[in-house]
Amino acid sequence: MIKEQNNTAMKKKQDHTTLSADKLKKQYFFILGREAHLAVAELIVMLGKTNLSYNILANGREVLIIEAEELPKELFAELGGMIKYGECLFNEPAIENLKAEKFISNIVGEKMMFGFSVYALGEMPLGVLKSIKSKFDRFAMFLKKEIKQTISRVRYVSTNDLALSSVAVLTNKLMREGGHEFVALVEGGNIIFGRTLAVQDFSEFRHRDFGRPVRDPKRGTLPPKLARVILNLVGASKDTVVLDPFCGDGTVLTEAIALGYKKLIGSDIDLGAVANTERNTEWCKKVYNQNTEVRLFAADARRLGDMLPPQSVGAIVAEGDLGSPLRARLTRSEAERAIESISVLYRETIKVLASLLERGGRMVLALPHYPTEAGEFGISFTGLSFDELHLSPVDVWPKDVPKNLGRFGQLSSYIYGREDQKVERQIFIFQKM
C-alpha cells in the first residue's frame, strides 16, 4: 500500500481542502479527465512508484493539487487519465488585484503566445466561474498591451469556454517556446494562479487507436487512454512480465509497448484476435522503436494454467468480453441472467490467473457492468474464496480525498461508463499475497 503523508491543509468543505498561502514553493495542479476517480487512482499509484514524499493539499471534481518534491518530467507523459498538469504560482483573492508583473516575470524570449483557463476547485456556481473568466479575458487584453512594450510578437489565444482544451493548447503552440497557458483555480473567495507545464498528447493516443493496422469496432474496442490507466494501476516496473489473457486487438499490449515494457504475453480464445494483436504489436514496436518481447497464442483463459508455469507473470491486465453491442439497456431480469452466465466464466478464469501471478503482483480486470432502471449489476464472486487464491482486493484511493469524484463498486472497484452507455466497465484491482 502507498504510504500517504499527513495532509497539512485544513478541510473547509467535504469535497476539497484549503490551500495555505505559505506553501506554494513546490505545488502542482492536475486537471482531471472525464473519469476523475480513475485519474486520481492512477496518479496515486504512479506517485507511489517514484518514492516521492507528497501531500494532497486540495481537490475538486476538476482539479487535484499536491505538494511534492520536483516531479519527474516523464511522469505526466505516462498518465492516461489526466488532461493537464502544471505548477502553482501565487494566490490572489480577486482578478481585479492582479498585477501584470506576476505574469511577465515568467516570460522569456522574443515572442509570446498565451491563453487563460478557469477551473473550479470545489463546488462553484457556473455564473461565478463565467464572471471570473470574463474578467480574466479583460485582464488578458491589458496584459497583452503591457507585454508589447518589450515584445512585439504577442498573441492571446481566447476561448468562449471556461478553459482551453488540450487540443487548443497544443494546436496553438502554447506548450512550445514562447507559449504559456495560465490557469485560475477558483476556491470560494480565493484564486490560485498557475502555469501549465504539459497537456495530454491527444494525437499520440489517436494514432495508436486509429492509425494501427487493425481496428475492429464490431469486436469492441478498449479506448487506449483507459488501457493506459489500467496498465498504470498495476504499479509495475517496466521489466515486469505482463499478461493480457483477453488481448482482442491488442490495445493493452500496444499501450504497454508505448510505455516501454520489455516482456509481454497475450492470449485470446479467438485465433483472429491473436492475429490482429500480432499485426498491431509489431506495428507499435516499429513506431516506438521498442525491442519488446511479445509472446502470443490462442487459448481459452481458463486453460492458461496448462500453457504457463505457476507464478510466471508479474502483472495481469485485461478487459473481459463486454458482449455483443446492445440497442438498449437491459431490463433487470435480462441483466441478472447475463451476469449469472458470465460470472461463472470469470470466477473460473480468476482462479487460473491467480495461480499464474507471482507474489506481490497485481491483477487489474475491466469486466462487464450493467446499468438498468432497476439498479446496477456487476460480476458476482459468490463461492470464490480470495483467501484460498491468496488474492486481496486493493484500495489505492487516498484517504484524504472523499469518494465523490466518480462511481465505485464492490471490492474497491471503479465504474467506468458514460451516462447513456448500455454496458459499462467495472475495474477491479487484486494483489497476490
Reported confidence tier of residue 105, pLDDT bands at 50, 70, 90: confident
Domain co-membership, 181 together with 208: no
Domain that holds residue 282: 203-432
Domain co-membership, 251 together with 341: yes
Mean pLDDT of 168-192: 93
H or E, element range at 251: helix 251-259
Domain co-membership, 179 together with 266: no
Residue 3 lies in a domain: no
Is residue 1 predicted with pLDDT exceeding 60? no
Domain co-membership, 170 together with 214: no
Cell matching residue 73:
518530467
H or E, element range at 182: strand 179-187
- For all residues of the chain together, what is the average pLDDT? 91
Q: Quickly tell me which residue has 497583452 as its cell.
A: 144
Residue 5 lies in a domain: no
Domain co-membership, 196 together with 260: no
pLDDT of residue 220: 67
Residue 1 lies in a domain: no
Burial 88-104 (b: 16+ CB within 10 A, else e): bbebbeebeebeeeebe
CA dihedral 372, 374, 375, 377 (to 10 degrees): -60
Domain co-membership, 241 together with 190: no
Specify the range with the lowest mean pLDDT, choosing from 100-104, 293-297, 349-353. Answer: 100-104
Residue 2 lies in a domain: no
Burial 409-420 (b: 16+ CB within 10 A, else e): bebbbbbbbeee
Residue 304 lies in a domain: yes
Residue partners of 257: CB distance under 8 A and separation at least 6: 264, 281, 284, 285, 288, 290, 292, 294
Report yes or no: 86 and 28 within 8 Å, Cβ to Cβ: yes
Which residue, 198, 137, 208, 207, is CA-closest to 170?
198
Report yes or no: 86 and 183 within 8 Å, Cβ to Cβ: yes
Q: 121 has which bridge partners? A: none
User: Any idea what the CATH number is for the domain that residue 15 is in?
Assistant: 3.30.2130.30
- What is the β-pairing status of strands 63-68 and 27-32? antiparallel
- Look at residues 150, 177, 200 and tell me which one is the last residue of a structural domain: 200
3-state DSSP percent of the chain in helix, strand and coil, to 5: 30, 30, 40
Mean pLDDT of 254-260: 98
Domain co-membership, 222 together with 179: no
- Look at residues 156, 183, 200 and tell me which one is the last residue of a structural domain: 200
Residue 306 lies in a domain: yes
State how far the Cα of 331 lies from the Cα of 433, in Å rounded to an integer. 38
Which residue, 340, 324, 355, is CA-closest to 423?
324
Domain co-membership, 191 together with 231: no
Domain co-membership, 168 together with 272: no
Tell me the pLDDT tens digit for each residue of 336-382: 999 998 999 999 999 999 999 999 999 999 999 999 999 999 999 99
Say what percent of the chain tops pLDDT 90: 80
pLDDT of residue 4: 36
Number of domains in the chain: 2
Domain co-membership, 137 together with 227: no
Domain co-membership, 387 together with 263: yes
Phi, psi of 199 (to 5 degrees): -125, 160
Domain co-membership, 271 together with 149: no
Residue 87 lies in a domain: yes
Tell me the pLDDT tens digit for each residue of 17-56: 344 444 435 899 999 999 999 999 999 999 999 988 999 9
Residue 56 lies in a domain: yes
- Look at residues 167, 200, 233 and tell me which one is the last residue of a structural domain: 200
Report yes or no: 175 and 157 within 8 Å, Cβ to Cβ: no
Q: Is 162 helix (H, G, I), strand (E, B) or coil?
A: coil
User: Any idea what the CATH number is for the domain that residue 290 is in?
Assistant: 3.40.50.150
Total Cβ atoms within 10 A of residue 306: 9
Which residue, 188, 234, 212, 204, is CA-closest to 41?
234
Burial 17-35 (b: 16+ CB within 10 A, else e): bbbeeeebeebbbbbbbeb
Residue partners of 185: CB distance under 8 A and separation at least 6: 29, 63, 65, 88, 119, 120, 121, 191, 192, 193, 194
Helices and strands counted in the chain (H then E): 10, 20
Which residue, 426, 325, 324, is CA-closest to 371?
426
Which has more pLDDT, 236 or 402?
Answer: 236
